[in-house]
Chain A
């Protein structure tokens, strides 16, 4: 039994993924495997199709061709909300929060569905107080407990992103897709977010788009490099960073 469990399990996989935008091929023939317990980075120069791959995997965009499997089930044609309910949660490149709700309510909204408190139109909001302890726990885990009563729209940029991660974690997803979680953040916030990601990745799979190569080197155990919509290289940081094509295309001048 344990031998089986030791083998990294593929929880999200894509084969031959392709997406055209009126003749322009944004993503072409992308194969990807995301493993349980691992942190997988998707990197590449601007316009390489990283966010498009994200939107395809989460079904926010329908693929033109290819096949996507989540936990062994074909989700190529499943609506995005259903994909989310199956355990695939995502964050967005532009921090996606509910600006006119409080920080606490932002997290509670994410908790409502799993607790079955999302269709009751005849009950008082008081019933949502049952979700408060869990919501507060999540806010504490990302260091936002002091902001619980603030409107989410009033938070600083970095804290909005952290709130988004807390909200995503509220879904307790099996696979977590983070679109540039540290983009635009100050040095300290980057450290905080890195630690959060490391700790949540222990019992789930994480796929992240990331530009900060220090973060990638520090966190990720598998890297897929995209260029012009195609997979240029894949492997651990060492392998990828020593790949000639990657060095010329992307990393060469900056790193290694």
Chain B
């Protein structure tokens, strides 16, 4: 009883589920490439990290960004360019992508945090659309063609990423590091302030917190981690195109996060996995993917608003309350 905090109070019911899920998940991901097509898995991991980074902002700070494609796709361009044109090794190229996304995030965040709610979303959308048209016009992005034939290279000069298992475990490591970083931020003293801002912004101000600074910091962190996902994707798939900076991508990551459950660590991963799996399954069929994801989204909103994982948590909590 001595140090029962919010996390521990909840951990009694949800933490157990979460821990089991995490262990099972990591084991499954390590074993997965022997059973499932690795390219598909890597796509899933990249989008899962993207959704987790987005959730850091939406779920834990309460800010709905409609412009995260700029960070995801922007980082993809930066690292693809560095790897292909400058011949940078993959680790340096990815790092550049992350830094680029962070700078973009600082600029966009600087303007966006001045407004709240829907206006915040509109500003992020407008700025990301500006970035989209910049990418369309700029020379280094290759315009409509994008940057193709990006070499995967040799990681740290020893791991040849053209070997399928090497690249898979590299992506898995990046994914785990990224998700751990998000988990760390959320469960840190800083994360506590973010949560208090989400809960009651005026109260946080009256306690002396300059909420703008915290929001901007969260925005930059989220952008950088979204950039990590985008840069990794560019190295894996060996290209960067306009698809990744288009507004549809911003919408897709919102969908993934809501579907899985905002404000949970596992939710966005499940949501991303589901959406990517659907896209892959339906890619070969006649049925349009967008209609399928749209229907699923509607069902989700109507039946379980907390998202898949959010709903599971709520049930576990209710069971726990009934018992105790």
- A residues with a Cβ closer than 8 A to B are 58, 60, 79-82, 84-85, 89-90, 92, 96-102, 104-105, 108-110, 112-113, 117-125, 127-129, 132, 148-149, 151, 167-168, 171
Contact = CB atoms under 8 A, between A and B. Distances in A.
Given A124-B187, A128-B192, A84 B208 contact: yes
Contacts of A104: 4-5
Contacts of B190: 118-121
A113 B188 contact: no
Select the residue from A79, A81, A124 with max chain B CB neighbours within 10 A.
Answer: A81
Contacts of A90: 206
29 contacts: A60-B205, A80-B206, A81-B210, A85-B208, A96-B200, A96-B202, A98-B195, A98-B199, A98-B203, A100-B195, A101-B6, A101-B195, A104-B4, A108-B192, A109-B204, A109-B207, A110-B207, A113-B208, A119-B189, A119-B217, A121-B189, A124-B187, A125-B5, A125-B189, A127-B189, A129-B3, A129-B5, A171-B207, A171-B208
Contact of B200 (A98, A120, A128): A98
A224 to B, nearest CB: 22
Contact of B203 (A96, A108, A113): A96
Given A118-B190, A121-B190, A148-B4, A58 B206 contact: yes
Interface in B76-120: none
Given A121-B188, A124-B188, A113 B6 contact: no
Contacts of A122: 184-185, 188
Given A121-B190, A122-B188, A123-B189, A105 B5 contact: yes
A128 B189 contact: yes
B192 A105 contact: yes
B189 A81 contact: no
B155 interface: no
Contacts, number: 116
Interface of B: 3-7, 9, 184-185, 187-193, 195-196, 199-200, 202-211, 217, 221
Contacts of A112: 189, 192-193
Contacts of B185: 121-122
Contact of B211 (A81, A100, A129): A81
Most buried by A among B204, B206, B211: B206
B200 A121 contact: no
A77 to B, nearest CB: 15
A60 B207 CA distance: 12
Contacts of A84: 205-208
Nearest to B7: A125
A89 B7 CA distance: 28
A89 B193 CA distance: 17
A222 B188 CA distance: 44
Given A81-B211, A82-B210, A118-B189, A97 B6 contact: no
Contacts of B205: 60, 80-81, 84
Nearest to B221: A121
Given A96-B203, A112-B192, A120-B190, A102 B210 contact: no
Contacts of B204: 109
A125 B206 contact: no
B177 to A, nearest CB: 13
B209 A113 contact: yes
A80 B211 CA distance: 10
Given A120-B189, A120-B190, A89 B206 contact: yes
Nearest to A123: B188
A171 to B, nearest CB: 6
- The 10 tightest CB contacts between A and B, nearest first, are A121-B190, A84-B208, A98-B199, A96-B203, A85-B208, A81-B210, A117-B189, A149-B4, A120-B189, A109-B196
B208 A81 contact: yes
A105 B206 contact: no
A105 B6 contact: yes
Contacts of A124: 184, 187-188
A71 B12 CA distance: 47
